[in-house]
Structure 1
Amino acid sequence: MRTKHYDVVIVGVGAAGAVFAKQLSQAGLKVLGIEFGKYFQNHRQDFVENEAGVLSLTWNNNQYRVEGDGFSGTPNLGAHVGGGTLAWTSMAFRYFERDFKLKTRYASPLGTAFEDWPITYQDLELYYQIAEQQMGVSGTSLPWYNPRTSPLPNPPHCYFESSKMLEAGMNKLSIRSAPGPVAVNSRMYKNREACINCGFCRSGCRTDAKYQADKVLLPSAFATRNFTLESECVVLKILTEANGTRAKGVIYFDKKTKQTYQANAKIVIVCNNPMETARLFLNSADAKYPNGLGNEYDQVGRYFYAHPSVFGIGFTESKTAIEAGYNMGNIISLDFTETKNPNEYIGGFSLLSLNGSGLGVTAVDPLQNLYGQELKSIQYDYTKFLAMIAFCEGLPKYDNRITVLPQIQDTFGSPVAKISYYFTNHDRIVASKAVAKMRDVMVAAGAVKTYIRENPFESHPMGGMRMGNNPATSVTNEFGQIHSIKNLFVAGASLFPTGSSVGPTLTIHALALRTADYIIKNFRKLS
């Protein structure tokens, strides 16, 4: 087996991994990025404007064994170089200051188990700003946050016709609204085109008006000649040395050549999605860590959760032009993201408009109980729809977790993952509040009939490798550094102790920038 040598190995070159590739290679480190999926070098040719195109860009969730009602396999995680940024809907929210200290403010409701983040909003504020600049976020100051210290790089988009109707409805109900912060160019930005509102964001943006990490970050990494990308490869195991106190590198299989390789490195960073990150650590068990790397306290894979999500449409008697426009957040309200009555629930939900392609999704979500001609008759009037989504704050609990099944192996010989995920009573309460408020807004906006999926589905899986200060209740420290293996890091949403009620991608990016700075400043000590 051939062995290669690098300063850093990155496992997964997506929303977080691409950040490390750029930052570390520009700092002079020799970096290898290993990605399971393909590298699409010509987006204009490789992507298609077809709603079903999202399925070829997202992770195959059908491979998992699932227990519980919380995981339905929603296709919202990436499967190729660029990760989820190829298929995302581009919402680039900062988390709120309160999100980082949720337990201190409210304690854990019965049936949940979560901790404060080991960092504060102020620790991330500079990195949020850098991430927004790198992404090219369009938007304005929002009334739900403290005043910005600097403007977003691009102005907000104009409201679509459907957004104007939703704005009028929210005004009637005294609900505040604003253009959402989206990583979609409202004007030409750094040689990336402005959005043409084709409506197919989730199938990959052919014009690169949408932020896609492979297009925006990796060219800078390649330009240093310090970065090597191995696509269509699967990492099978993380290796350790020095009696388990250091990561030595990884073993990976190249799906193109059918060869197995070993890549040694001074630092290893795992940037997979939460299911695959926990699975890799559990499948890397060795003599020192018989239950999985970094799992001395049975924390790897625990506290898995997501945003319970609600999707609804409202049928109006006028043309809404919903079929055009970037997919999400042309207008938003965050009025309900803050706890109203902590004796009832904590956290809350965000309300975001939906536009563009989505006729197929309406059939499987808000219209899931309709079939045949009844379904078709409603969908024929798609251009008269209003559409919204609500992301609810999901709370972790101890037994919602990722494990592996040694007796069932994938095509590469690795035990498959089992997802145990049940929505909590708290999750259901918040989702029911979101359903009611969404219906109120749509009716006020002119909907004569509403169809809202009342049983929530999961968006944005998080947790499983929780960060914290106590090794007995977390897997990593504030930098994603494994407590017992100082040159082994984790990045991505698997670190999140709690997940707010807005999308996690900007926070994933900002955390990766912060950890990259830490690695650069401490590289000699870590290596």
Structure 2
Amino acid sequence: MTKISHEKVEVVIAGSGIAGSTMAAELGEAGFSVVVLEAGPERKLSEMISSQIWSRRLRWAGPEVQETGDLVGAANFAMGWGTGGAGLHWYANWYRLHPDDFHVRSKYGRSLDWPISYDDLRPWYDHAQAYFGVSGDYDPNAPTGAPYPMPAIPISDQSAAIKKGFDAEGLTLSLNTLAVNSISYDGRAGCLLDGWCDAGCPIGALANPLVLQWPRAQKAGVELRHNAYVARFETDPSGSRATGVVYIDENGNENVQPADIVISACHTIWNARLLLLSSTDKHPDGLGNRSGTLGQYFTSHALTTIHGLFERETEPHTGVTGANTLCLEDYDNKLPAKDAFGSRAWLVGQAAKPNDLLGTALAKPELFGDALDDYLRKASSHYGNMTVLCEEDSIAENRIVLDHSKNDRFGLPQAHVTNSLPQANVVRSEMAKSEGLRIFKAAGTSEAWAGPRNPMHMIGGTIMGNDPSSSVTNSFGQLHEVKNVFIAGASLFPTPGAINPTATLAALVFRTADHIRTNRSSLLP
């Protein structure tokens, strides 16, 4: 294997997804010399083709992730591969964690606390929603913040049919908050509501790195290298400072990229894996793992889908993939019953095509032949669906480790994830499923059913905290042990709440980028 050394830069970033591209644009515009390393190929807007089968190219094509537990299977679905990472196929649901989500240990004696509060992150939430472009209306059940820069996308026929059930249950259904343009915004077109978000958005109505962060980053001089598979981070002989990144290029050559600041902005599992792969005699259990918590406190969201057939036509193929409407009422009630724990959120009226991922056919996988044909003829015009996300406790037993019995194509140990849902969260999930079926029955469905419980989103593994003995990084994602290494992404979250993580991820990136700018002189040698 040939070893190639590159000229030193001030910042090297592993990962070109939403976290990595946003960090690159922010630091590039602040005058830092920045190189971004992306394991996958170059992606272009012309590859965003409205086909769910075609969209699979955008998903994970790296080494297999080994998984154990009763809440597994999200890795390949959720991760990205190529320019923009998972930011090319994300659903753009845009929610803030609620104030209590930051203090679960203090308030309820469960899970963990964050080292920051909602008020610490609120100005960065405000900044992020203006930067990305968010459409939405005031929701009395959402945390306080600046008004959304765009009006909400109007209610769909599907949501209107389902709303009758929420009304009957005394629950408020609000228009969803999305990083999707309801009107032209920041030079990008408004959404066509054609329901193909899952396959990417070539017109840029959905905020993705190809149309938002990368034009800014490239204008600022940021260099992006594709097919650059990061293998480890290197440190000096003392182990107190990172010196750069080692990556494998498309020809199988080992490359060394020296840098003053190293940032891991990969997906959750890969952030933890890279730190574990970067072990040395000074860091025998992985870089930044003196506390022993590296890889621990992995969480997800327990997801259950509710499906039904309505008498009225719902046009389920139109709208947005994420959701058209949202119910956060009762979200802050983390103790809904004696043996249950956790928040829950309803995402309602997701666009559904007939086939493949999230398709109406997949909603009834037991059907085939004439029965499937009859069902699809009705479902294509009368189907409705919604998803409930339920909170998962952060526990040390759910974790990411290296599997030394299974290697990737470069001979590096694969990641192994263990994730089982604590019993109090199982009870909460079952309560939510029953609630969802009641809502659909009250909405007048001729038939309603629930899908199996699955994981959605991957969170934790490199958690932040004030105490170096019980966390991997401080609140800025800076390793406690190696001050010029930063982590960006949902792997920092000590707890997941019960809502999609991207708004919080973005707010943290902007906060960390500001910290790096402000402390430039002390971070650079």
- TM-score bracket for the superposition, by shorter chain length: over 0.9
1:364 to partner: Cα distance: 7.8
Q: Does 2:100 match 1:118?
A: no
CA distance in 2 between partners of 1:407 and 1:284 (Å): 18
1:342 to partner: Cα distance: 6.4
Q: Does 2:401 match 1:403?
A: yes
Please state whether the residue corresponding to 2:6 is helix, strand or coil.
Answer: strand
Please state whether the residue corresponding to 2:433 is helix, strand or coil.
Answer: helix
Q: Compare 351-360 and 282-291 and name the one that shifted more.
A: 351-360
Q: Which residue number in structure 2 is paired with residue 515 of structure 1?
A: 512
- Measured at CA, do residues 305 and 124 of structure 1 come closer, stay the same or move farther in structure 2, by a change above 3 Å? same
CA contact (8 A) 2:74 2:458 kept: no
Q: Does 2:21 match 1:2?
A: no
CA contact (8 A) 2:156 2:349 kept: no
Equivalent residue in structure 2 for 1:192, among 185, 188, 195: 188
Measured against aligned partners, the alpha-carbon deviations of 1:454-494 in whole angstroms (never above 9, x if no partner) come to x3101111011011111221111111111100000111011
Equivalent residue in structure 1 for 2:279, among 275, 285, 299: 285
CA distance in 1 between partners of 2:414 and 2:361 (Å): 27
CA contact (8 A) 2:316 2:353 kept: no
Please state whether the residue corresponding to 1:329 is helix, strand or coil.
Answer: coil
Please state whether the residue corresponding to 2:103 is helix, strand or coil.
Answer: helix
Q: Which residue number in structure 1 is paired with residue 179 of structure 2?
A: 183
CA contact (8 A) 1:139 1:155 kept: yes
Structure 1 residues 45-194: aligned runs within 5 Å: 45-60=46-61, 63-73=64-74, 75-108=77-110, 114-148=111-145, 150-194=146-190
CA distance in 2 between partners of 1:461 and 1:49 (Å): 26
CA contact (8 A) 2:166 2:173 kept: yes
1:86 to partner: Cα distance: 0.9
Normalized against structure 2, the TM-score is what? 0.95
Q: Does 2:31 match 1:28?
A: yes
| Matched letter for residue 300 of structure 1 | L
Structure 1 residues 228-239: aligned runs within 5 Å: 228-239=223-234
CA distance in 1 between partners of 2:518 and 2:37 (Å): 24
* Overall identity of the aligned pairs, in %: 30
Normalized against structure 1, the TM-score is what? 0.94
Please state whether the residue corresponding to 2:482 is helix, strand or coil.
Answer: coil
Q: Which residue number in structure 2 is paired with residue 456 of structure 1?
A: 453
CA contact (8 A) 1:299 1:473 kept: yes
Please state whether the residue corresponding to 1:7 is helix, strand or coil.
Answer: strand
CA contact (8 A) 2:190 2:205 kept: yes
Q: Compare 344-353 and 210-219 and name the one that shifted more.
A: 344-353
CA distance in 1 between partners of 2:362 and 2:328 (Å): 23
CA distance in 2 between partners of 1:320 and 1:145 (Å): 27
CA contact (8 A) 2:360 2:383 kept: no
Q: Give ranges in structure 2 of 5+ residues lacking alignment.
A: none
Equivalent residue in structure 2 for 1:328, among 311, 322, 326: 322
CA distance in 2 between partners of 1:16 and 1:358 (Å): 29
Measured against aligned partners, the alpha-carbon deviations of 1:59-78 in whole angstroms (never above 9, x if no partner) come to 24870222212112361222
CA contact (8 A) 1:363 1:375 kept: no
Q: Give ranges in structure 1 of 5+ residues lacking alignment.
A: 109-113
Root-mean-square deviation (CA), in Å?
A: 1.7
CA distance in 2 between partners of 1:440 and 1:54 (Å): 34
Structure 1 residues 475-514: aligned runs within 5 Å: 475-514=472-511
Q: Compare 156-165 and 56-65 and name the one that shifted more.
A: 56-65
Q: Which runs of 4+ in 1 moved over 6 A?
A: none
Q: Does 2:265 match 1:271?
A: yes
CA distance in 1 between partners of 2:189 and 2:450 (Å): 35
Structure 1 residues 422-433: aligned runs within 5 Å: 422-433=420-431
CA distance in 1 between partners of 2:375 and 2:56 (Å): 24
Please state whether the residue corresponding to 1:104 is helix, strand or coil.
Answer: helix
- Measured at CA, do residues 142 and 482 of structure 1 come closer, stay the same or move farther in structure 2, by a change above 3 Å? same
| Matched letter for residue 296 of structure 1 | R
Equivalent residue in structure 2 for 1:40, among 34, 43, 48: 43
Q: Which residue number in structure 2 is paired with residue 240 of structure 1?
A: 235
CA distance in 1 between partners of 2:126 and 2:209 (Å): 17
